Amino acid sequence: MLAVAVLAAGKGTRMRSAHPKVLQPLAGATLVDWVLQSCEPLNPQRWLVVVGHQAERVQQHMQRDGQRLEFVLQQPQQGTGHSVQQLLQPLADFTGTLLVLNGDVPLLRSTTLHHLVQHHRQSGSAVTVLTACLEDPKGYGRVFCDDRQRVTAVVEDRDCTDEQRRNKRINGGVYCFHWPSLSAVLPRLKADNQQGELYLTDAVGLLDPATQLTVEDATEISGVNDRGQLAACEQVLQQRLRQQWLAAGVSFLDPASCSLSPGTRFGRDVVVAPQTHFRGANSVGDGCRIGPGALIEDSQLEADVEVTFSVVRQARLARGCTVGPFAHLRPGTVLEEHCKVGNFVEVKNSQLGADVKAGHLSYLGDARLGRGVNVGAGTITANFDGIGKHPTTVGEGSSIGANAVLVAPVTLGRDVTVAAGSTITSDVTDDALAIARCRQVEKKAWHEPAASHRSGSTSETAADQPS
C-alpha cells in the first residue's frame, strides 16, 4: 500500500506574496499541481494534502483539478514535523509506505519517485531520504551519514555549525517512510531549534535504519522558497516541455522565446515562431503555423491554421483558418473552415461560417455569419445597448460594405449587400441591397463665400449639412 502526503500548509513568507506559495503560477499550472503530477504515475491508494495557510483557497484550487484528495488541516503551522503529525489520525489504520513531499518541489520526475519507493521497499528501511550533492547547498538541510551509508541526522542550514555547513549532501524534502515506524516517533519531536518548530527531519534521525537515495539530476530536487527559485524552475519546466514537443515533431524557430503549458497538445509539423505562448488546455492540429508573436489560451485549432501576432482565447478554429496580424479572438469565437480574420479585428462570442473574410478593423460580437460572408473594413456590430447584449445574424453569401454599423438585434438574410457607411437598424431580406446613409450632395462650381458676406448671409457654407 502506498499513500502520498503533500505538505502544503506553509505560508511561504520568502515569496512576499498575498497568495499561498503552493498556488504560485508555474509553467502553465501551479507549484503544487506539478508536485501532484509527478506522483500520479505511482498510482497511490491514498492522496493526503496538509493545508493550513489560506487552507480554503488551496483546497478549492486542488479540488477543482478533480483529484481524489483527502485534505488535512494544520492549524497553526508549527513546522514540517507538526504538519506530518496531523496525519496520525487519518492514517491510524494505515500500515504501508508513506511518500512525503514538500509542496514546493516541482521538478521531480516520476521515474525518480518510483525509484525512491522501490529502493525504500527493497532496503527494508524505516525511512529513505531523497538527497543530492550540491555545489551551493545554502538554505537546504544537510544530510549526515555514517560509514555504512546510514543517515544519522539531518540538520537545517540555520542550525548547522560552520563545519556542518560544508557538507554538500542536502535533503530534497522528499521521503519514503514505513508509516508504523514514523507514527511511533512523531510524538517525540521537539522544537529545540533556531526556528522553534517541529522538524520532520528530526524524525529521520530517530528512525533506524535510515537510508538515502541520491538523485542523478540534482535540479530535480530544487525547492521554491523565493521568486528567484520560482523563475529558475519555470525555465527548467519550459525547457522540458519544449524538448518533449520537439521530440514529438514540433518545430520551434526560437525555442527559448516561447512558453508552453502542460495542457497543450500538438499535431505533427506544427511550426512555432518566436515569441509565441500557449496557456491552459490547447490542441493545435497538424501543420499549423503559430507566431511570431501569438498568445493561444484554452483553444482548439484544427489542421493548417495560421496565427500571426494575435491573441486567441477560448476559441475554436477549423482547418485552414488564418488569423492576424493583430487580431483578437475572444471567448466563444468559432471560425469554420478557411476563415480569414485579419488586421485589427476583434471577435467575441461569434460564429463565422466557412470562408468568411473579416480582413480589417472590425468588431464582431454575439454574431452569426453564414458561409462566405465578406465583412468590409471597419464593420462594427453594435451589440450593446447600454443594458444588454444582442445578436446579429448575417445570412450566407452576404457582403457588408466598409464602415457599416449593424445595430443589434438585427438579422440580414442571404446574399444581402450592405452599402458602405450604412447604419443598419432594421432586418434586411434575402438578396436585397440595404443603404442607410445620407446621399452625397454635389454643388457645382462652389467657392468659399468671402468673409465679409458671411454674417447674416443665408447662403450655404461648407459646414452645412447637405439636404
* 83 lines the binding site for ligand UD1 (CB under 6 A): yes
What DSSP letter does each residue of 10-68 carry, written as one string?
Answer: ---GGG--SS-GGGSEETTEEHHHHHHHHHGGG--SEEEEEEBTBHHHHHHHHHHTT--
Selected binder of ligand UD1 within 28, 44, 106, 173 (CB under 6 A)? 173
Q: Which does 83 bind (CB under 5 to 8 A by kind): ligand UD1, Ca ion, none?
A: ligand UD1
Spatial contact of 437 and 422, defined as CB atoms under 8 Å apart: yes
Closer CB to ligand UD1, residue 10 or residue 292? Answer: 10
Binding residues for acetyl-CoA: 377, 420, 437
The H-assigned helical ranges of 188-226 are 200-206
Selected binder of ligand UD1 within 44, 82, 308, 394 (CB under 6 A)? 82
The C-alpha cell that represents 380 in the structure block: 462594427
Q: Which residues are CB-contacts of 438 (< 8 A; sequence separation ≥ 6)? A: 465, 466
* 355 lines the binding site for ligand UD1 (CB under 6 A): no
Binding residues for Mg(2+): 104, 225
How far apart are alpha carbons 113 and 72 in whole angstroms? 23
- Provide the minimum distance between the beta carbon of 53 and ligand UD1 in the complex, in angstroms, as a whole number: 7
Catalytic residue among 338, 360, 447, 453: 360
The C-alpha cell that represents 96 in the structure block: 504501508
Where in 166-225 is the site for Ca ion (CB under 5 A)?
Answer: 223, 225
Selected binder of Ca ion within 33, 104, 234, 366 (CB under 5 A)? 104
* 156 lines the binding site for ligand UD1 (CB under 6 A): yes
Closer CB to Ca ion, residue 90 or residue 139? Answer: 139
Cα–Cα distances (Å) from 232 to 35, 78, 101, 169, in that order, read: 16, 28, 20, 21
Closer CB to ligand UD1, residue 7 or residue 98? Answer: 7
The C-alpha cell that represents 395 in the structure block: 445570412
Where in 275-334 is the site for ligand UD1 (CB under 6 A)?
Answer: none
61 is catalytic: no
Helices 110-123 + 31-39 axis angle, to 10: 50
What pairs with residue 380 in β-bridges? 363, 405
Q: Which stretch binds ligand UD1 (CB under 6 A): 99-107, 178-186, 363-371, 390-398?
A: 99-107
Just list the catalytic residues.
Answer: 360
Name the site residues for ligand UD1 (rule: CB under 6 A): 7-10, 50, 52, 74, 77-80, 82-83, 102-105, 140-141, 154, 156, 170-173, 199-201, 223, 225
